[in-house]
Structure 1
Amino acid sequence: DTDSYDDDAGVTREQVINDWTNLWGFPNGIARPEIDEWLEEFKPEVIAYAIWVAGEHQIGSNACLKYVRAIVAGWKKRNITTLEQAKKAAANHDDRMKSERKPSGYSKPRRKEVTPKWMQNGASQADSKPNSSDNQQDDMSDEDFLALMNSQEEAK
């Protein structure tokens, strides 16, 4: 009975499917039953939010199911049930990702900007992680992915 899904946020199952369709096209035979399963465990607004997060990270249609599945699984593991909790978890995650991108203990002296040698000769890839998150997503196993999504637990 989909009516029980209607709550204050006014997000319905239809809306969840619409959001998905707008981002990645109509959910296929694999995605559809999974979405239904999520909707049995979570309010539609929470699932809609997971879809929105994936959209914000510009996840392509080839990786969207895995991405949203990992988000939902991570929330389930941490007993997150409300939109509020989910938003908090996502914010923590983004903050942590931001701070991890900065080399630790590195303060930038505000003097003259000198481009380091390795940047000039284009060898930057060897030195720093390539920032092509799209490719990384695809070869990531669910476990790695969840480890990434859940790593903020340890940081608490």
Structure 2
Amino acid sequence: MPKIRKQYQKGFTTLDNTPLNDESLSWKAKGLFAYLWSKPDDWDYRVTEVARHATDGIGSTSTGVNELEQAGYLKRKQKNKNGVFGDSVWTLSEQPIFKNPLTGNPSSDNALTEEPYTENRKLLNTDLLNTNSTNKRTSKNNMLNDARHTFRDVHNLWESNWGFPNGIAEQDLTEWTKKYGADLVMHVITYALRRNINSKGADRYLARTFEQYDKQSIKTVEQAERSEKQHEQQMSREYQSMGGRRRPVHVDPVKKDYTPPKGFDR
């Protein structure tokens, strides 16, 4: 039978075989666990940072982290001071000790709530979005131009339209707010709602949008609106170039290319 020969080098990592032999885990989750285990305690354990060190991307990395959390090998607790969410603390274990033996779910002391998305939740009018717990209605112009939004506004806007964010979404929202500011995050959520993005695809859509923002060096709401306007003008020109005989193929603004339908010639 085939055999493997190992050549040991310096800089190795000592790891219990339990997670590697756990057949309930995907190969992605196993590899991700080994990578995280090799890092020092003071390393930057954020999904966006972890994703930078592989080709999977933020969405794929998030699912791997979530899988480890659901299996009990990872626990994430987010600091909460006076209602303001801060950095999260990740705790890894070579044994699935964070899994509740009675329910099979992550331990209840995990501060990052894993409530499911509300898939069929009715979307609110995106011109009058809820931005606080009192369901105060704010016009879209004021919302986008107001420079005083906070993470709580971001959280409430998400919850009002897509349900309570799960652990992955909660952490991503925290990181995006810190990096891009609450106003820009609010803008992206609003744009996603206008495009009828559902709760299941919301986190991934926002992640792809911010990745595109990084490529285009977009850092403000004004720059984002300018990019969207240019995209709409491009779509209008394409429509007019076809003599207005048919609607142009929709192109996702966070993607540069698309596959035309059969029989359509660019």
Which structure has the highest helix share of the two?
Answer: 1
Please name the residue that 1:84 is paired with.
Answer: 222
- CA 1:40–1:19 in structure 2 vs 1: closer, same or farther (change >3 Å)? same
Please name the residue that 1:106 is paired with.
Answer: 243
1:77, 1:27 → 2: CA distance? Answer: 27
TM-score, normalising length: structure 1: 0.60
Relative contact order: is structure 1 or structure 2 higher (C-alpha 8 Å, sep ≥ 6)?
Answer: 1
- CA 1:145–1:80 in structure 2 vs 1: closer, same or farther (change >3 Å)? closer
- CA 1:145–1:84 in structure 2 vs 1: closer, same or farther (change >3 Å)? closer
TM-score, normalising length: structure 2: 0.37
Matched, 1:53 2:182: no
Q: Choose which of 50, 61, 73 in structure 1 pairs with 2:211.
A: 73
**Cα deviation per residue 1:55-107 (whole Å; 9 max; x = unaligned)?**
1111111111111111111111111111111111122223334444x373426
- The AA in structure 1 aligned to 2:255 is L
Q: Larger radius of gyration, structure 1 or 2?
A: 2
Please name the residue that 1:146 is paired with.
Answer: 255
2:155, 2:236 → 1: CA distance? Answer: 31
- CA 1:78–1:47 in structure 2 vs 1: closer, same or farther (change >3 Å)? same
- CA 1:27–1:85 in structure 2 vs 1: closer, same or farther (change >3 Å)? same
Aligned CA-pair RMSD: 3.3
1:148, 1:35 → 2: CA distance? Answer: 27
- The AA in structure 2 aligned to 1:146 is K
- CA 1:10–1:148 in structure 2 vs 1: closer, same or farther (change >3 Å)? farther
- CA 1:99–1:32 in structure 2 vs 1: closer, same or farther (change >3 Å)? farther
Runs of 5+ consecutive residues of structure 2 not aligned to the other structure:
1-80, 85-145, 259-266
1:105, 1:87 → 2: CA distance? Answer: 26
2:209, 2:232 → 1: CA distance? Answer: 13
- The AA in structure 1 aligned to 2:149 is V
**Any runs of at least 4 consecutive aligned residues in structure 1 with deviations exceeding 2 A, and if so which?**
93-100, 102-108, 144-149
Q: CA deviation at 1:23?
A: 1.4
- CA 1:26–1:78 in structure 2 vs 1: closer, same or farther (change >3 Å)? same
- The AA in structure 2 aligned to 1:89 is S
Paired positions, count: 115
1:49, 1:94 → 2: CA distance? Answer: 17
**Cα deviation per residue 1:125-146 (whole Å; 9 max; x = unaligned)?**
xxx99x8x8xxx9xxxxxx953
CA contact (8 A) 1:47 1:72 kept: no
- CA 1:107–1:57 in structure 2 vs 1: closer, same or farther (change >3 Å)? closer
